[in-house]
Amino acid sequence: MKDRLVTLIGGGGFAGRYIAQELLRAGARVRIAQRRPGRAFFLKPLGGLGQTQFIAADITRPDTIARAVAGSDAVVNLVGAWSDFEAIHVRGAETIAKAAAAAGAEALLHISALGADAGAPSDYGRSKAAGEAAVRAAFPDAVIFRPAAMFGREDAFVNRFAGLIAAAPVVPVLKPDAKLQPVYVADVAEAAVRALTDATARGKTFDIAGPDIFTMAQLFRWIAGAIGRNPGFVELPDALGALIAFFDFLPGAPITGDQWKMLGADTLAHGPGLAALGVHPTPLAVVAPQWLVRFRKHGRFARLGESA
């Protein structure tokens, strides 16, 4: 990747910052394109002089995307949303793929989601599948990643649950039997760089997931143990869970009907994944305690085995 220009659409987000760091370490020039590029300036000191560029771009405005990807050797689409699915996941993804092709980019990596399926119960899952199809039509050799829920120091996933568990004496668990396979964001970043440089990955789809399979109930209890908390867990029946999801009156729970529908199906990897790209997946227990310590009652001064 040395001296090659890689444009990250949405590169200042959670996964984007890790992919940017991995690319910078590999010697690539990285262009961060997003609506508010100033929010990604924290990445600038991670590269050498002139190694990082920033440009304003909006995937709902094709002209800005065309300018953002001009001269790129590779493009990565990291943009996702919990609203405006058609505009962001479908038309936006198509805009990026068409712009990358027109710019003569050698590689395109499109970040979709595990559970993307034209027959998915959620609008989110169906829109992700439609976006994949649009990308394939515009850029047939695109690499598609379908990552599971990603965890890492800055995530809004494990940290969100940890905050709820640390603050509440009783914690409700929606869809306690739903299975998920979370993946470490640094592994996703390593796989992304490999996918961009491996010609054999072109045109393929990868299910990017971690080595552990949890039910929601198991995940909540694991987090509680990791932060030394012992709340009461209440596994809610679906009827009550649906009310909470659709009427938005429980902080920390899924807050939209579409998210509730997503929880109705297990999100597990079935196709080629990290191993196919030469990446060894990292278990949650290996890295998460490093940052979850802040949720312990006495932080880093807590004694081993101490509970709140």
**What is the per-residue pLDDT across 136-173, written as a single tens digit (0 to 9) for each?**
999 999 999 999 999 999 999 999 999 999 999 999 89
Please, what is the Cα angle at 205 between 134 and 282, to 5 degrees? 135
How many angstroms separate the CA atoms of 121 and 278, rounded?
Answer: 33
Model pLDDT, residue 261: 81
Instruction: Determine the average pLDDT of the residues in 32-41.
Output: 96
Percent of the chain with pLDDT over 70: 93
Average pLDDT rounded to a whole number, residues 239-252? 65
pLDDT at 303: 57
pLDDT digits (tens, 9 = 90+) for 65-85: 999 999 999 999 999 998 899
Query: Which CATH superfamily, name and number, covers 5-147?
Result: NAD(P)-binding Rossmann-like Domain (3.40.50.720)
CA-CA distance, 30 to 53, in Å (whole number)?
6
For the question of whether the overall pTM of this predicted structure is more than 0.85, the answer is yes
Distance of alpha carbon 292 from alpha carbon 140, whole angstroms: 41
* Whether pLDDT at 228 is above 70: yes
Query: Can you tell me the distance from the alpha carbon of 170 to that of 252, in angstroms, rounded to the nearest whole number?
Result: 12
Report residue 308's pLDDT band, with 50, 70 and 90 as the boundaries: very low
Cα R_g (the chain), whole angstroms: 20
Helices vs strands, H then E, count in the chain = 12, 13
